[in-house]
């Protein structure tokens, strides 16, 4: 009566059991391969930077770790929403210019609200709300066209990205929006913790210590506000994707859209929400850009689009949908950033940097694919 009887462990021979154990090790290794890869990169750069540099240059420093963390924030934010979209079998090519639009809108609002006599802090909050609302609108348009009119997401988001680009350029007049309140600059460049090294060795919380000269150079900002915001968004994304019905539906749609539809998953509504989410995380990246660089730039996100998709793919999200995790995207973004920073610190010539980064991206995805083979073999 049973469909398939489970293999009885007691009847396994010793060799079968040892093969099983080997497979288990392989399986475990392949599941954490991205971490292994990242750690290997860090070890490689730590050694090679110390060996090749004259004097006391180290890769593994507090400052460098913070530089890398802040460098991944825009790429990661764009990649977070994208992770959901790609898992559900879509793609969002508009996030680059959405980031730019959000940067421009928030900068314009912050500048003009302060100019009209509103206090900088509430003005900045309103400006951020405006940037996110504008981004969300773009996501809504993407989602509506994809879900209701059944146009392929690749085409829709490509078309919308052109429109958003035009809108962002129109709003900004094609130039960086300047004249922002200094509080915004502080938010973008200050941090949760401060460490004064160089002998003083003090940790400060929230308030930047007043230091000058040599001490100023020994001042490290730990967990800059953009990093804190991004970490919060990452935590929310992990919760949503891995713990809630929303996340489960995302996987279901990516796995078999027709099945999800028949099972009563509100596929259209869900698809719309996914594109809104994707635009909103890109929009947050735009706000942080305005803050860090104290200017609203329409072109802020365009150069980052491909990097963000690369991070998602390196992290193990399948472009065919249905597979992937948030932690993968985080590691993917880290791998690219560690690589870029490490190569500059090694003094590798710029043209070679392109070649190395491209090769590692392909290598990472190749390893990920062979991982699927290993899992497939080990589980069968």
Partner 1 sequence: MEPVLSLRNILKRFGGLTAVKHVNLDIFPGEVVGLVGDNGAGKSTLIKCVSGVYHPDEGEIQFMGQTMAFSKPIDARRVGIETIYQDLALAPNLNISANIFMGREAKRRYFGGLIKTLDEEKMLSESRRVIDSLDIRLPNFGAQIDKLSGGQRQAVAIARAVYWNARLMIMDEPTNNLGVPEQRKVLDLIRKLRESGVPVILISHTLPDVFAVTDRIVVMHRGHKVAEKQTAQTDSQTVVEYMVGARSDVRAD
Partner 2 sequence: MSKRFLLLTLVGLLVLSIAPMLAVAQDDDTITIGFLPGVVDPFYQVMEIGVRQAVEDSALPVELVVQIPENFNPSVQTPILDALVARGDLDYLIIAATDKEQLIAPLQAAHDAGIEIISVDTFIGDGDYVNGPVTFPLSYIGSDNVEGGRIAAEALAENVGGTGKVYIQNVTPGISTTDQRAQGFREGIAEFPDMEVVSEDFNNDDENTSVQQTSATLERESDLVGIFGTNVFSANGAGIAVQNAGLSDAVDVIAFDATTFAVEQLRAGVVSLVIAQKPFDMGYLAVQFAIAHNQGVSSLPKRVPTGYAVIDIENVDDPEVARFIYQVE
How distant is the alpha carbon of residue 73 from its chain centre?
Answer: 6
Q: At what angle do helices 326-346 and 350-379 cross, to 10 degrees?
A: 150
Whole-angstrom distance, CA of residue 48 vs CA of residue 190: 31
Residue linked to tokens 């070890």: 43
Among 256, 325, 327, 353, binds partner 1 (CB under 8 A): 256
Among 16, 58, 244, 369, binds partner 1 (CB under 8 A): 244
For position 379 contacting partner 1 by CB under 8 A, the verdict is yes
Total number of residues binding partner 2 (CB under 8 A)?
54
For position 293 contacting partner 2 by CB under 8 A, the verdict is yes
For position 105 contacting partner 2 by CB under 8 A, the verdict is no
For position 115 contacting partner 2 by CB under 8 A, the verdict is no
208-267 binders of partner 2 (CB under 8 A): 216-219, 221
**Choosing among partner 2, partner 1, none, which partner's interface includes residue 179 (Cβ < 5 to 8 Å by kind)?**
partner 2
Identify the three-state secondary structure at position 190. coil
CB of 20 to partner 1, least distance (A): 14
Whole-angstrom distance, CA of residue 277 vs CA of residue 230: 14
Contact (Cβ atoms closer than 8 angstroms) between residue 275 and residue 95: no
For position 264 contacting partner 1 by CB under 8 A, the verdict is yes
For position 90 contacting partner 1 by CB under 8 A, the verdict is no
Point out which span in 61-69, 244-252, 331-339, 357-365 binds partner 1 (CB under 8 A).
Answer: 244-252
Q: What does R_g of the chain's alpha carbons equal in angstroms? A: 23
Contact (Cβ atoms closer than 8 angstroms) between residue 199 and residue 42: no
298-357 binders of partner 2 (CB under 8 A): 299-300, 303-304, 337, 340-342, 344-345, 347, 349-351, 353
CB of 336 to partner 1, least distance (A): 26
Contact (Cβ atoms closer than 8 angstroms) between residue 253 and residue 89: yes
Give the HSE-up count for residue 374: Cα atoms under 13 Å, Cβ half-sphere: 18
Q: Which residues contact 297 (CB under 8 A, 6 or more apart)?
A: 100, 103, 104, 172, 176, 177, 289, 290
Cβ proximity to partner 2, 165 vs 249, nearer residue: 165
For position 322 contacting partner 1 by CB under 8 A, the verdict is yes
Among 86, 252, 279, 287, binds partner 1 (CB under 8 A): 252
Total number of residues binding partner 1 (CB under 8 A)?
31
Among 20, 24, 262, 269, binds partner 1 (CB under 8 A): 262
For position 168 contacting partner 2 by CB under 8 A, the verdict is no
Contact (Cβ atoms closer than 8 angstroms) between residue 296 and residue 107: yes
Among 5, 10, 11, 15, binds partner 1 (CB under 8 A): 5
Cβ proximity to partner 2, 80 vs 252, nearer residue: 80
**Choosing among partner 2, partner 1, none, which partner's interface includes residue 263 (Cβ < 5 to 8 Å by kind)?**
partner 1
Residues 249, 251, 253, 259, CA torsion sign: negative
Contact (Cβ atoms closer than 8 angstroms) between residue 343 and residue 296: no
Strand ranges across the sheet with 219-224: 202-205, 191-196, 219-224
Cβ proximity to partner 1, 217 vs 242, nearer residue: 242
25-62 burial, b at 16+ Cβ within 10 Å, e below that, comes to eeeeebeebbeebbeebbeebbeebeeeeeeeeebeee
Please report, as ranges, the residues that interact with partner 1 according to CB under 8 A: 1-7, 239, 243-245, 247-249, 251-252, 254-256, 258-265, 322-323, 379-380
Please report, as ranges, the residues that interact with partner 2 according to CB under 8 A: 49, 53, 55, 57, 61, 63-64, 67-68, 70-71, 73-75, 151, 155, 165-166, 169, 173-179, 185, 189, 216-219, 221, 289, 292-295, 297, 299-300, 303-304, 337, 340-342, 344-345, 347, 349-351, 353
């Amino acid at each position: 009566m049973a469909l398939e009887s489970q293999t009885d462990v007691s009847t396994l021979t010793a060799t079968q059991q040892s093969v099983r154990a080997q497979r288990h090790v392989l399986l475990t290794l392949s599941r954490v391969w991205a971490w292994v890869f990242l750690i290997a990169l860090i070890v490689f750069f730590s050694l090679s930077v110390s060996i090749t540099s004259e004097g006391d240059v180290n890769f593994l420093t507090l400052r460098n770790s913070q530089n890398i963390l802040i460098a991944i924030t825009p790429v990661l934010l764009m990649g977070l929403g994208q992770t959901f979209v790609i898992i559900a079998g879509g793609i969002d090519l508009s996030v680059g210019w959405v980031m730019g639009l959000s940067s421009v809108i928030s900068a314009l609002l912050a500048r003009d609200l302060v100019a009209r006599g509103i206090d900088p802090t509430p003005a900045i909050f309103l400006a951020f709300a405006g940037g996110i609302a504008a981004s969300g609108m773009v996501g809504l348009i993407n989602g509506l066209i994809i879900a209701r009119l059944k146009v392929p997401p690749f085409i829709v988001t490509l078309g919308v990205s052109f429109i958003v680009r035009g809108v962002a350029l129109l709003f900004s007049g094609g130039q960086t929006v300047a004249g922002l309140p200094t509080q915004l600059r502080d938010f973008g460049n200050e941090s949760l913790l401060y460490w004064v090294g160089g002998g003083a060795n003090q940790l400060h919380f929230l308030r930047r210590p007043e230091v000058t000269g040599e001490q100023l150079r020994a001042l490290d900002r730990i967990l800059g506000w953009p990093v804190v915001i991004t970490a919060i968004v990452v935590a929310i994304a992990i919760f949503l994707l891995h713990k809630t019905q929303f996340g489960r539906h995302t996987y279901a749609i990516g796995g078999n859209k027709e099945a999800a539809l028949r099972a009563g998953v509100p596929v259209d509504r869900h698809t719309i929400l996914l594109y809104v989410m994707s635009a909103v995380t890109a929009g947050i990246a735009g706000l942080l850009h305005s803050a860090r660089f104290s200017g609203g730039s329409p072109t802020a996100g365009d150069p980052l689009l491909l990097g963000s998709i690369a991070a998602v793919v390196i992290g193990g999200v399948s472009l065919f949908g249905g597979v992937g995790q948030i932690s993968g995207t985080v590691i993917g973004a880290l791998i690219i950033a560690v690589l870029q920073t490490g190569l500059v610190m090694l003094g590798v010539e710029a043209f070679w940097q392109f070649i190395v980064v491209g090769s590692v991206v392909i290598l990472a995805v190749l390893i990920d694919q062979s991982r699927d083979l290993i899992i497939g073999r080990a589980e069968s």
